[in-house]
Structure 1
Amino acid sequence: MADLKNIDEHFVQTVWNEQRFFDFDLKSTDGRSIQVLKPGFWNSDEGPDFVHAELLIDGNLYAGDVEIHINSSGWYNHKHHLDPRYNRVILHVIYLNDDINLRTRLQNGKRIPTLEILNRLDAPIGDLFDERKASQETSTNECRVTGKTLKIERVQSVFEDLGQERLHEKADVLRNQIVGVDFEQLLYQGIMEALGYTKNSKSFRELAQRVPLSEIRGESDESIQAILFGVAGLLPSQSQQETEWDEEDKRFIERLESIWESTEQHKNPTCMAAEQWYFAKMRPANYPSRRIPAIAQIISRCQDTLMMAFLPLIEGAATANQRDLASIRRRLQERLTPAPSGYWENRSHFGKGIPQRGAALIGAARAADIIVNKLLPITLLWAEQSQSPKLTEAVQRLYNSYPKLQENRITQQIEAQIFSQEQPIKLISPSAKKQQGAMYLNNNFCSSQLCDLCPIIEGGGIIKD
């Protein structure tokens, strides 16, 4: 056995990421069968090492996170058992089991299986070390397209095609999620997840699952706020901090607390921990405490159903001209950008002001992201299941017409890799669809270093030397 002093956590993470172990008849330390469907995405932010993994555990499908350590005791040494951010971990992967605990305990009391890979590696560990060292020495981390002369029309076509793939990929993911929930809940969960950005998306999704749409539909704006804040664990009464309130704070908080105490959810609490929510290093306008009033307004204004607040508008895109498409996009975004009123007009959190009075609870840029990333894929699945070619065409025309969204880390990274001063990205007329293509390129090729299969190179997008 290799000296553990030579093994670092990054090495074990690499083994998991590249699946460098024999996966036949995998068993956890407590004897449960493990089958890896998707190892997940390597997470460079706070929280578990891999996110969005999919596993079969004793034949049952689990989706969640994976945490990696050298030893099984690392879980407790790092105090993950006290951290609610690790409650979505479905598998603890270790190199060596040095602990008598056969199953890893989460903060919420649940236990998850542990997988030891010591005797499952697909090559001698010395060879794996040598491979890693050679890779580190020879790798320049440089994209093979970087610095090459591009065939702009081909590159544009590749991003269009990949953008189309991403739309259908999203619909495929939703198709698996629709089992056990209806389209109303699916859209509600999607909007909630998008409101959380990267740091709070999982917490908002959990909140949507703890408080299904069916439990709050038809309630008033403030009732929905009270229930969501209460179940989220974010009401002032749920905090142990002493705070000085002004009169407006007191009146509003007392009203919300009173509503909360009268709800079924308060009588049968399944509340989240306040520690599950991120506020640090966030713009006050994006705090979870402003997103909750936003979704409360959206839901309370839906007279019929959440889907029907959007479907008739989307369907009109099937035969719309360019000017009408722009009008439809604007009206869809208006339904997702409620104006603040009352208490939240000048608050970012309970008792905390906001720099820009009257700032939207959801900005236009975030609303556009929700439409492209959540609403359109869900509507495409709806069209498929209702066998509506007209609605399918409408979704496609809206998707094709959507202007460029706000940049994110991945789109900026792809732009830096592919384009240059001599051939800037503007030459391909950036759009939301092409940005989605960039996301697909990164997630399915670049992040896995599948350079030999690069669609830009394979698609004839560069002029070879």
Structure 2
Amino acid sequence: MNEEFLHYIWQHKLYKPELITTDEQRIEVIHPGTKNTDGGPDFFNAKIKIGNTLWAGNVEIHYDEKEWYMHQHHLDSAYDNVILHVVQQNGSNTINSKKREIPVCQIQINEELRLKYQQLQFNELWIPCEHDIANVDTFTLKQWIERLLIERLEEKNEWIEQLLIESNNNWDQVFFVLLCRSFGFGINGLPFELMARQTPFTILLKHADNPFQLEAILFGQAGFLKNELKVTYSISLKKEYDFLKTKYDLTPINNHLWKFLRLRPNNFPTIRIAQLTSVISKSKGQFDKLLCIHDKKTLLELLNVEPSKYWKTHYRLDIEASSSKTKSLGKSSQLRIIYNTIIPYLFIYAVKHNNEEQKEKIIDYLYQQPPEKNAIIDKWKAVGITPESEATAQSLIHLKSKYCKQKKCLSCHIGHEVLCKT
């Protein structure tokens, strides 16, 4: 039995109601306290009546009473305000650093509840509550999904904060890093991010009207122009990059970071870099054009790009393909960039500038869009949850990746209702 489950039981008062201390004093929990996510006691500011005395203070929870001493809480003054030590087994006596004895309570947990929690944690279903979700209250489900949308939109907040610090509050540089990361489509996200963080966007702006120079900078910064090249176009790119590298004191990343294995050729990072170049060239580096969420048609048009002529017959530098093929950025990829990068960026920008009206517009926009089609949404439909809009689809994607996949049932409102019904 892990402590997280015991914390959950205590927080939601799901233990058997007869609580007594190990010296047989009756306990009444008026307030279980506020869960502590940092160091120190597990719950702060609890209010508990023990016998005829009302106590206010902290609560510490362990599976076994001996863990108090194993963790050396008896030597730590931070635990001197603990008014109750809650354990699952071996409750005896607990002493703090001032040699004062702390009341101990050995809680009893309903066996059905324990078994249901273990079932959720250890089954191998697509989502842990797959057999229970149909019985979850519709209102609870709707409220939780709406809340998850905001959580997903704010997911990149901490990362953006760090990027703002690194870029001296340059929002264009921040968006460039986010946009580059999105062109990695997961597997190459990290090298794309590293390339962007080492490439000042102000330099790209100076060359936004010259696609060849943009391509030279990006392929050079990606580390693809370090080796000896044979094809005329590649040699020209390298020559241009070497000049610009010296001029702007640029530093490329190591090209061994890029992954090609088990990727379809259209997803090769070289193709994605060429497509990214076209996006920057087409928008002339004016990202405000890419951030106009009120005109989806224009936005999709700006992302509807294909690389330069060279890439019709190549998937990698210096290696010619067997046939000519257009390698435009597909519709599904365009939507993925819009929903996973542009929309969250706009939302956090609105949050940082206290623009409530813009936040509402972004949320309304997502509710007006039809749900995207992907494997995760198909799986949700199979378990009986069909999204009506892109807002709901985004929430369900977030629910699967951040809660279901990590078995965080105790932090999920759906998991909470499943357990409480037990």
TM norm structure 1? 0.57
Question: What SS is found at the alignment partner of 2:178?
Answer: helix
Deviation at residue 419 of structure 1 after TM alignment:
5.5
The CA distance in 2 between the partners of 1:435 and 1:331, in whole Å, is: 23
Whether 1:374 and 2:354 are equivalent positions in the alignment is: no
Moved more, 172-181 or 250-259: 172-181
Whether 1:147 and 2:131 are equivalent positions in the alignment is: yes
Q: Is the 8 A contact 1:287 1:348 kept in 2?
A: yes
Question: What SS is found at the alignment partner of 1:348?
Answer: strand
Q: Is the 8 A contact 1:260 1:266 kept in 2?
A: no
Deviation at residue 206 of structure 1 after TM alignment:
0.2
- Summarize deviations over 1:368-406 as a string: whole Å, max 9, x none: 111111111211232334444443333222222233235
Corresponding letter in the other structure for 1:208: A
The partner residue of 2:147 within 161, 178, 196 is 161
The CA distance in 2 between the partners of 1:290 and 1:307, in whole Å, is: 21
The CA distance in 2 between the partners of 1:441 and 1:122, in whole Å, is: 34
Going from structure 1 to structure 2, the CA distance change for 1:150 and 1:363 (only over 3 Å counts) comes to: farther
The partner residue of 1:439 within 397, 409, 412 is 397
Q: Is the 8 A contact 2:129 2:415 kept in 1?
A: yes
Corresponding letter in the other structure for 2:199: V
Deviation at residue 193 of structure 1 after TM alignment:
0.3
The CA distance in 2 between the partners of 1:140 and 1:384, in whole Å, is: 39
Matches within 5 A, 1:266-345: 268=249, 270-303=251-284, 305-311=285-291, 313-314=292-293, 317=294, 328-345=295-312
- Summarize deviations over 1:228-261 as a string: whole Å, max 9, x none: 11121112xx336xx8x6xxxx332232122112
Corresponding letter in the other structure for 1:223: Q
Corresponding letter in the other structure for 2:330: G
The CA distance in 2 between the partners of 1:289 and 1:218, in whole Å, is: 23
Deviation at residue 348 of structure 1 after TM alignment:
1.4
**Structure 2 match to 1:352:** 320
Deviation at residue 222 of structure 1 after TM alignment:
0.9
Question: What SS is found at the alignment partner of 1:262?
Answer: helix
The partner residue of 1:253 within 229, 234, 238 is 234
Q: Please, which runs of 5 or more residues in structure 2 have no aligned partner?
A: 5-69, 73-117
Aligned residues: 306
Alignment RMSD, CA only?
A: 3.7
Deviation at residue 447 of structure 1 after TM alignment:
3.9
Going from structure 1 to structure 2, the CA distance change for 1:178 and 1:222 (only over 3 Å counts) comes to: same
**Structure 2 match to 1:400:** 367
- Summarize deviations over 1:322-350 as a string: whole Å, max 9, x none: xxxxxx22221221221234112232112
Deviation at residue 310 of structure 1 after TM alignment:
2.7
Matches within 5 A, 1:98-247: 139-142=122-125, 143-148=127-132, 149-150=134-135, 153-154=138-139, 155-171=141-157, 173-181=159-167, 182-219=170-207, 220-235=210-225, 238-239=226-227
Q: Is the 8 A contact 2:282 2:302 kept in 1?
A: no
Deviation at residue 355 of structure 1 after TM alignment:
6.5
The CA distance in 2 between the partners of 1:233 and 1:215, in whole Å, is: 17
Q: Please, which runs of 5 or more residues in structure 1 have no aligned partner?
A: 1-14, 19-120, 124-134, 318-327
Q: Is the 8 A contact 1:162 1:441 kept in 2?
A: yes
Q: Is the 8 A contact 1:346 1:354 kept in 2?
A: yes
Going from structure 1 to structure 2, the CA distance change for 1:139 and 1:261 (only over 3 Å counts) comes to: closer
Q: Is the 8 A contact 1:188 1:213 kept in 2?
A: yes
The CA distance in 2 between the partners of 1:349 and 1:260, in whole Å, is: 17
Q: Is the 8 A contact 2:198 2:221 kept in 1?
A: yes
Going from structure 1 to structure 2, the CA distance change for 1:359 and 1:302 (only over 3 Å counts) comes to: closer
Deviation at residue 275 of structure 1 after TM alignment:
1.1
Moved more, 268-277 or 182-191: 268-277
Corresponding letter in the other structure for 2:252: C
- Summarize deviations over 1:391-449 as a string: whole Å, max 9, x none: 333322222223323525xx36xx64x664xx6343x43x3322321233234433442
Question: What SS is found at the alignment partner of 2:407?
Answer: coil
Q: Is the 8 A contact 2:311 2:327 kept in 1?
A: no
Q: Is the 8 A contact 2:366 2:390 kept in 1?
A: yes
Q: Which has the larger radius of gyration?
A: 2
Question: What SS is found at the alignment partner of 2:166?
Answer: coil
TM norm structure 2? 0.62
The CA distance in 2 between the partners of 1:122 and 1:443, in whole Å, is: 33
Q: Is the 8 A contact 1:289 1:349 kept in 2?
A: yes
Going from structure 1 to structure 2, the CA distance change for 1:266 and 1:354 (only over 3 Å counts) comes to: farther
The CA distance in 1 between the partners of 2:273 and 2:396, in whole Å, is: 31
The CA distance in 2 between the partners of 1:265 and 1:122, in whole Å, is: 56
Question: What SS is found at the alignment partner of 2:396?
Answer: helix
The CA distance in 2 between the partners of 1:388 and 1:217, in whole Å, is: 28
Task: Say which structure, 1 or 2, has more relative contact order (CA 8 Å, 6+ apart).
Answer: 1
Once the two structures are aligned, what percentage of the paired residues are identical? 20
